[in-house]
Amino acid sequence: MHPQDLLLGAFIYLAAAVIAALLATRLGLGSVLGYLVAGMVIGPSVLGLIGREGADVMHFAEFGVVVMLFLVGLELRPATLWALRRPIIGLGGLQVVATALALGAGALALGFGWQAALTTGLILAMSSTAIVLQSLSERGLLKTSAGQSCFSVLLFQDIAVIPILALLPLLATVNPQSAHGATLIGDLPRWAQTLAVLAAVGAIIVAGRFLTRPLFRLVAATGSREVFVGLALVMVVGIALLMQLVGLSAALGTFLAGVVLADSEYRHELEMDLDPFKGLLLAVFFIAVGAGIDFSLLLHQPLLVAGLVLGFIALKFGIMFLLARLFAMGGPDACRFSFALAQGGEFAFVLISFAAGLGLLDPGQSGLLVAVVALSMAAAPLLMILDARVIQPRFASKPGARGSEPIEDTGARVIIAGHGRFGITVGRLLQASGIRAVVLDHDAEQIEVVRKFGFRTYYGDASRHDLLEAAGAAEAQALVIAIDEPEKVLQIVETARRHFPQLQIFARARDRVHAYRLINAGVEHVYREVFAASVDLGKQLLVGLGMHPFEAHRAARRFKAHDEDLLRRSARHVDDTQRLIDIARQEREELERVLTSDASAPGASPDHAWQAPDGRPSDAGPAPAPPAGQAAPQPAPWPPVPWRAGAMH
């Protein structure tokens, strides 16, 4: 392809993606539907902006699915995956078998041969991982129990593609070379192939466990983000290639790698770096699916195609719903689950072309199947909207039939950004008090150390709103910014206040001027990094010089409160140095007066405070004292009058 064409193609795809996503989300339809419609519009059947190369583009964009499964894997710790084994194998397995048989029977009834019918059933049993996961996560439903069931089924389907690819040649009457032709190991004996597959999977697990962490640490230490992104892409592409070499699904391989890395502290950084690639590639993929819909077929046999699509969706929905009830899902969950999965999937296109190559399907059958799958995928977002807008509200109005709740509570209550000598103290106090905290730091060495102390830690730049979000900023109660770079602290404050207004922010200030800036940025809890220690030292110094510890304690506290009040009052004059100096001078005199008045005014002693003004013994006349407990209103931070201990009568 000419480079010019490549750029033009990229321009058309990306422009269509942007416009479609904007329109679709504005209309509340979800971006997937937008992409599909955009593909239809720019495709050969309507505007013809892109031609028949759509299929090639789709193969390329399938890499988006690969990246997506890597990201899905990152979200799933091995323990979570193990906990899901029952729905994955039980629900997923039953779904594939039941759907394949039912749809195969349907195809048989339409006059397909039994091999073609079974092939069709298997092909149509697949649902679209790309559409469903993307739509569910856009709606925040991925972690609900219906979402998890969908995920389990989709995961099983993705795994099932591999045995299906192995099974189809056995159904074929002709046996062309293409079965394993693309793989390096296709010529090896069976046992060696199996061994190679196992070795590849083992290599991913071992490398993921032991090799990636030092590698990422090394790259993270360079501090250059593009190198990190590059490494992440190299890893995903490399795994995809390795999987193809041994004839496994690339998506499955990267999913496995994702699971292996789910416990890694680099998880969030990986997620964020790969997310844009996934999003763009999926967009291109959906556009290609839209463009691939053959409208001429639709125009020639509109009733047949429409009938097939409707029948397919209805049948798949029915089976999903039955299975959902069988697995004890409630009404709302069962509906959400069934509507979400009632479509064909991207793997269907792979399987269709594979089956056509084997001669299992004739060109007419495969063309019809492509149209049915593509149209059902286009309908999928509509079905989910139907479910969300019409079906679910009906359940919501019935008492006792509550929709699904998030089942995984990963949120920490506190996020600590920066875990150096400042943050670590805060973290230890929280840990000792049994409060969950997530630690973010962009020093890979530091992260290693902190991990050993048993904190949940993530590598990354906390001024990025996506990292904060990944760390749970939307649910956390507080954000501690303990980083020692003043500008960075201000950046994080700005990000956090804009995106997570509910977060209480506790910020470390380098010095007075930095504290002014933080206060002006709206931070209530500002702590100058050495202030508390200096005051403590000063207090002990006073004791060392002979002051009574309680007096020293109070002096230190008053000094501190006074200084913090001054800090807040001066903050708005941060740029007016002369003004600041004037205020400081005034305040110093005031402070001196306050501190000394307490120590050196025995005449103001409380022991006398209740005596009659003329010095008569206090029992000689009526009490001049105000009623107990009714203190005079006091100006902040403490009254400039001498402090009074309890009164003695």
Cβ atoms of 381 and 29 within 8 Å: the answer is: yes
Main-chain phi, psi angles of 408, to 5 degrees:
-115, 120
Instruction: Please report how close the Cβ of residue 540 comes to other proteins at its closest, in angstroms.
Output: 11
Q: Which is nearer to other proteins, 569 or 608 (CB)?
A: 608
Q: Contacting other proteins (CB under 8 A), which of 610, 624, 634, 640?
A: 610
Q: Least Å distance between CB 427 and other proteins? A: 22
Q: Strands 525-528, 437-441: parallel, antiparallel or unpaired by DSSP?
A: unpaired
What burial class does residue 558 get, using C-beta atoms within 10 Å of its C-beta: 0-12 exposed, 13-18 middle, 19+ buried? middle
Residue 233, classified by CB atoms within 10 Å of its CB into exposed (0-12), middle (13-18) or buried (19+), is middle
Give residues 178-237 in contact with other proteins (rule: CB under 8 A): none
Determine the Cα–Cα distance for residues 126 and 348; give it in Å rounded to an integer: 7
* Beta carbons within 8 Å of 249's beta carbon, 6+ residues apart: 158, 159, 161, 162, 243
Q: Which two tokens stand for residue 263?
A: 């416990």
Pick between residue 497 and residue 553 the one whose CB is nearest to other proteins. 553
Radius of gyration of the chain (CA): 34
What is the length of the chain?
649
Please report, as residue ranges, which positions from 577 to 606 form the binding site for other proteins (by CB under 8 A): 599, 602, 605-606
Which of 234, 238, 232 shows the shortest CA–CA distance to 200? Answer: 238
Please identify which residue in 294, 484, 551, 564 interacts with other proteins, judged by CB under 8 A.
551
Question: Closest approach of Cβ 601 to other proteins, in Å?
Answer: 8
Segment interacting with other proteins, rule: CB under 8 A, options 53-61, 137-145, 199-207, 612-620? 612-620
The residue among 295 and 643 lying less far from other proteins, judged by its C-beta, is 643
Rule CB under 8 A: which of 99-128 touch other proteins?
none
Site for other proteins in 312-341 (CB under 8 A): none
Reading across the β-sheet that carries 437-441, which strands appear in turn?
456-459, 437-441, 414-417, 478-481, 504-509, 525-528
Residue selected from 180, 280, 611, 639 as contacting other proteins according to rule CB under 8 A: 611
| Peptide bond between residue 637 and the one before it cis (omega within 30 degrees of 0) | yes
- Per CB under 8 A, does 541 bind other proteins? no
Could you tell me the smallest distance in angstroms from the CB atom of residue 630 to other proteins? 13
Interface residue with other proteins among 187, 607, 624, 634 (CB under 8 A) is 607
Spatial separation of the C-alpha atoms in residues 612 and 620, rounded to whole Å: 8
Query: Which CB, 456 or 554, lies closer to other proteins?
Result: 554
Smallest distance, Å, CB 619 to other proteins? 3
Name which of 395 and 638 has its Cβ closer to other proteins. Answer: 638
Q: What are the tokens at 176?
A: 């062309």
29 close to 138: Cβ distance less than 8 angstroms:
no
Residue 179 half-sphere exposure toward CB, CA atoms < 13 A: 17
Stretch that binds other proteins, among 140-148, 302-310, 419-427, 617-625 (CB under 8 A): 617-625
CB of 541 to other proteins, least distance (A): 14
Tokens linked to 201 = 């999977």
Binding segment for other proteins (CB under 8 A), chosen from 29-37, 275-283, 320-328, 543-551, is: 543-551
In the shown chain, the binding pattern of residues 554 to 573 toward other proteins, with x for contact by CB under 8 A and - for none, equals x-------------------
Q: Does 536 bind other proteins (CB under 8 A)?
A: no
Residue whose CB is less far from other proteins, 1 or 620: 620
Q: Which of 80, 618, 638, 639 binds other proteins (CB under 8 A)?
A: 618
- Among 553, 558, 568, 573, contact with other proteins (rule: CB under 8 A): 553
Which residue number, 155 or 552, has a Cβ lying nearer to other proteins?
A: 552
550 binds other proteins (CB under 8 A): yes
Other Cβ atoms less than 10 A from the Cβ of 384: the count is 26
Among 174, 303, 545, 628, which residue interacts with other proteins (rule: CB under 8 A)? 628
Residue whose entry in the numeric block shows the structure tokens 């001024």: 463
From 34-42, 254-262, 548-556, 568-576, give the range in contact with other proteins by CB under 8 A.
Answer: 548-556
Q: Which of residues 630-649 bind other proteins (CB under 8 A)?
A: 645-649
The residues, any chain, with a CB within 8 Å of residue 284's CB and separated by 6 or more, are 13, 17, 57, 60, 61, 64
**Nearer to other proteins among residue 47 and residue 645 (C-beta):** 645
Contacts of residue 478, defined as CB under 8 A and 6 or more positions apart, other chains included, come to 413, 414, 415, 503, 504, 505, 506
Give the number of residues in contact with other proteins, rule: CB under 8 A: 25
- 529 or 598, CB closer to other proteins? 598
- On the CB side of 290, CA atoms within 13 Å amount to 32
Question: Residue 433 CB, nearest distance to other proteins (Å)?
Answer: 16
Helix (H) or strand (E) holding 303: helix 302-326
What residue ranges bind other proteins (CB under 8 A)?
548-554, 599, 602, 605-608, 610-611, 617-619, 623, 628, 645-649
